Amino acid sequence: MLLFNKKYNILFSILLLINDRHGYSGPPFNTDDPETVRFKHWEYYVSSINTHQFGEWSGTIPHIELNYGVVPNVQLHLLLPMNYNYSPGKGADFGYGDSEVGLKYRFVQETDNSPQIGVFPIMEIPTVKNNEFSNGKPKIYLPVWAQKTWGKLTTYGGAGYWINPGNDNKNWIFAGWEIQYDISPVLTLGGEVYFHSAQTKTSESGTAFNIGGSINPNEKFHIIFSLGHSLTNDHLFNSYIGLLWTI
């Protein structure tokens, strides 16, 4: 989904763990922030998300994400995923899923005494007929994010509402919060904790965490990563590894 032009994060807070078909915003975490890409600048991601649950694996290998600062405080977003599923009895399936487009708008600037605030509506658009990785219906995410920084410490988070059409699907809520610290110019570490409500008529709500961060060889190139696990219900292990170029 769920979406990070700072020195990249290994966030030390807590995030809502959602399934692998959503939540690409805020790499390498599910929680996002209101900070937009600078005007006329780009972010390029090549990344992989992997989820293990009840002996089965799913995720992306890889997905491509592009963000562009189209005007000050406004960022355009595109994510193109190549998905996979694997189970011991069935084997592996590969295919293109839904394309993700979005627009981030920061409408409150950060000051010494107040946070920056923004919205980041996202739509997942069916682009290839593929019953394994898409139900053929567009999905919409409507979040609000806030962020505050004190020196090397940054914290951000918020909540959003997923419009999730489809047989047996339910609209659902995601909420998360993250903390990160710039240990050095080369290393940022942090974590997140998050909650999601039930996404289908037969699933349950869940709470989860991720820890991770970024290795920053220079100002333009970053290695971003996270590992996490569910705290309730899902019995889910989640990981993210990616390369980020900022131009």
Q: Which CATH architecture has domain 12-246?
A: Beta Barrel (2.40)
Residue 155 binned pLDDT confidence (cut-offs 50, 70, 90) = very high
For the chain, the structural domain boundaries read: 12-246
Residue 13 binned pLDDT confidence (cut-offs 50, 70, 90) = very low
Check residue 40 and give its pLDDT: 97
Q: pLDDT for 68-101, tens place per residue?
A: 999 999 999 999 999 999 999 889 999 998 999 9
Q: pLDDT for 192-226, tens place per residue?
A: 999 999 999 999 999 999 999 999 999 999 999 99
Check residue 9 and give its pLDDT: 40
Q: What percent of the chain has pLDDT over 70?
A: 90
Mean pLDDT of 102-128: 97
Check residue 142 and give its pLDDT: 98
Which residue's structure tokens are 């920061």?
Answer: 106
CB 8 within 8 A of CB 216: yes
Which two structure tokens, joined as six digits, stand for 164?
Answer: 């999730």
pLDDT tops 80 at residue 104: yes
Report how far Cα 149 is from the mean position of its chain's Cα atoms.
Answer: 20
Which two structure tokens, joined as six digits, stand for 26?
Answer: 């805020």
- Top pLDDT among 2 and 148 is at 148
Mean pLDDT of 169-189: 97
d(CA 210, CA 226): 6
Mean pLDDT of 20-31: 65
Mean pLDDT of 180-186: 96
Check residue 20 and give its pLDDT: 35
With a CB cutoff of 8 Å and minimum separation 6, the contacts of 238 are: 17, 20, 49, 50, 51, 52, 208, 210, 226, 227, 228, 229
